[in-house]
A and B are shown apart, each in its own frame.
Chain A
Amino acid sequence: MFDQAVAFWGHHLIMVGIWLTLTLSLNLINGYCGLFSLGHQGFWAAGAYAAGATVVFLPHGTGLNWLGFVLSFGVGTFVAALFGFLVGLPCLRLKGDYLAIATLGFSEILRNVVQNCSPLGSSLGLSVPNVMRDATGKIPNYFIYIALSWGMAGLTTILLRNLVRSSHGRAIQAIRDDERAAELLGVNLTSYKVLVFTSGAGVAGLAGALFANYNSFVTLEDFNFNAGVLMVVMVVLGGMGDLLGTFLATITLYFIPVLLALWLPATRIPVFYDPTQGGVVYSEIKNLWQVLFSVLLIVVVLVRPQGILKGVTLKWPKFSK
């Protein structure tokens, strides 16, 4: 019973840390710099697959690939950052919707490439033999992974906060508010945009590396378009360019479906009428969480389009020196 609770909540705590890292890094691109990327799941996937491949293919003895495990984080970050750079460079002439489509295009291309790449497991997924597990090799050490994932999210927060509050952060936000005025104040648009894209993608890649190692299995389904949209929704609802808001929105939006699936009763209710399926179709309320979730999102967007916390004065606790 205890083990089950640890497995259930441990899993979700780890995943929230990963999602926080993803939304924080996406906030740098979308929120602070105002570049509308819809391809963050692609960088996440690039990091996960690169890390997975490192663990799988790095030569090692008969035991577990400890060296691969350690290196995989660096490789995942680097490969995703490289993709961010390569995608960012040509895409930076694009704005708004066009940039969104181009970045989405990138992540879909990446999916198709992996799908047809048998060393990476094609559509079956890549199994990543992993350390940090119990003797059976099946159960991950939840406590270590929770520490790693929240450490990663915490570090991302601190570094991102330092960046956005510096002269470079002001340049990045100036680009968001008025690109031309920023350029006329001496801001090099290209280098800052490339920097934002590359570093944002790199952090997503790090999150991917942790995901691959923790989950010990990566499939393309983990990085589908829905995941990308959910990340954007989290950033938008948290308030573009608001770190605390991103935290709250990510945690809330992550746990709502989890809790709905957990707490909604299994009672069957009629949902729609379809003569081809013999009339009224029933479904368990439990399975309707997606409908509830969508309604909730619509309500939030209607009530607070500027983000849940935007304009609310909530300050980070000050750790003054």
Chain B
Amino acid sequence: MDNSPASRAPFLVAKGLNKRFGGLAAVTAFSVSVDEGEIVGLIGPNGAGKTTVFNLLTGAYQPDTGSIHVAGVATRGLKPNRVTALGLARTFQNIRLFKDMTVLENAMTGFQTQCKSGVLSAVLKTRSHRDEEKRIRSDAQNLLELMGLAEKSQMLSGNLPYGEQRKLEIARALAAAPKVLLLDEPAAGMNDTESESLRQLLINIQTKFNVSLLVIEHDMAFVMGMVDRLLVLDHGLTIAEGTPAEIRSHPKVIEAYLGKDYAENDG
């Protein structure tokens, strides 16, 4: 691989991110770096600011202060589509598929950053455009195959069962050829068997595509069994960072998860 200094720096580096919504400090002094091939977990109770972190990293929100570098490029102020082109893709907690499109079309839309042919050649259906479409179609078909959705490629995506909609979202995000894939609660709403197979799939994807994963998850068993490192957020603050073993015994994490909130919810 390339050994130049630039490529040695972690692919995704965020430092000191702050975001306030009016009086609410959604994220405070958040820093993260994701290196090539890493799987990093981001956990925390509801409302801890996990999804806000994703929105900041992808450029959907602009941080009040702090810096983000993707592939060595400062992305603060860049639009989300530019950040995606640098190699960052994400899925959503509340599934955001294009529901009026078929499964295949959804996957093909993921290749947007790799479409080079212009509008005119699309309208006139030039040879280069048709070749590009053919390539994208077969690449998309391969991705669907990998996710086990190949047989449903002509279905409307809105008609897929919930678990498969999540998988399609992952396929669509992978289509953008990201170096870091942000997954927002990929196992939400899945039973144990389904989430176990999803975990295997994600680990396969990580090696196959050499893509780093940053995973938000509530399901502890799911996330602990796959990540190299974990960050724990509570009320926008990073209260702990470390390996799964370290996090399990971290007093602040136990308080955040099992302390007051837990007692109140169960009481």
Interface residues of A (CB under 8 A from B): 159, 162-163, 166-171, 173-174, 176-178, 180-189, 195, 241
Contacts and interface: CB of A to CB of B under 8 A. Distances in A.
B134 to A, nearest CB: 12
Interface in B132-177: 132-133, 136, 172-173, 175-176
A183 B81 contact: yes
Nearest to A179: B96
A241 B125 CA distance: 20
Q: Classify the interface of chain B: helix, strand, loop or mixed.
A: helix
B263 interface: no
A186 B125 contact: no
Given A184-B90, A185-B112, A186-B81, A167 B136 contact: yes
A184 B80 CA distance: 5
Nearest to B117: A167
B257 to A, nearest CB: 30
Interface residues of B, number: 38
Interface stretch (B2-10, B14-22, B25-33, B100-108): B100-108
Interface string B78-102: 0111001100011010001111110
A197 to B, nearest CB: 14
Q: Classify the interface of chain A: helix, strand, loop or mixed.
A: helix
Contact of B58 (A177, A184, A187): A184
B89 A183 contact: no
Contact of B122 (A169, A181, A188, A241): A169
Contacts of A169: 122
Interface in B112-142: 112-113, 115, 117, 119, 122-125, 129, 132-133, 136
Contacts of B99: 177
B111 interface: yes
Contact of B119 (A173, A182, A195): A195
A181 B176 contact: no
A241 to B, nearest CB: 7
Contacts of B100: 173, 176-177, 241
Contact of A166 (B58, B92, B129, B172): B129
Given A167-B133, A174-B98, A186 B85 contact: yes
A162 B117 CA distance: 13
B96 A167 contact: no
Contacts of B226: none
B48 interface: no
Given A178-B98, A183-B60, A186-B113, 14 more contacts: A159-B123, A163-B119, A167-B115, A168-B115, A169-B122, A171-B112, A174-B112, A180-B80, A182-B98, A182-B109, A184-B81, A185-B81, A186-B84, A188-B79
Contacts of A168: 115, 119, 122
A170 B106 CA distance: 8
B175 to A, nearest CB: 8
Contacts of B110: 185
Nearest to A169: B122
Contacts of A187: 81, 109, 112
A180 B133 contact: no
A186 B115 CA distance: 10
Contacts of A163: 119, 122-123
Contacts of A171: 109, 112
A180 B92 CA distance: 10
A187 B96 CA distance: 15
A171 B100 CA distance: 13
A170 B105 contact: yes
The 6 A-B residue pairs with the shortest CB-CB distance, nearest first, are A166-B122, A177-B98, A186-B113, A167-B115, A181-B96, A186-B84
A189 B96 CA distance: 16
B47 to A, nearest CB: 20
Contacts of B172: 185
A9 to B, nearest CB: 32
B101 A177 contact: yes
A26 to B, nearest CB: 18
Interface in B49-87: 58, 60, 79-81, 84-85
Contacts of A181: 92, 96-98
10 contacts: A163-B122, A167-B132, A171-B109, A173-B101, A173-B105, A176-B100, A185-B172, A185-B173, A185-B175, A187-B109
A99 B129 CA distance: 33
A171 to B, nearest CB: 6
Nearest to B112: A186
A173 B98 contact: yes
Contact of A170 (B85, B108, B124): B108
Contacts of A159: 123-124
B123 A162 contact: yes
A260 B173 CA distance: 53
Contact of B176 (A173, A178, A185, A241): A185
A183 B123 CA distance: 22
Contacts of A177: 97-101
A186 B105 CA distance: 15
Contacts of A180: 60, 80, 96
B101 to A, nearest CB: 6
Contacts of B97: 177-178, 181
Contacts of A189: 81
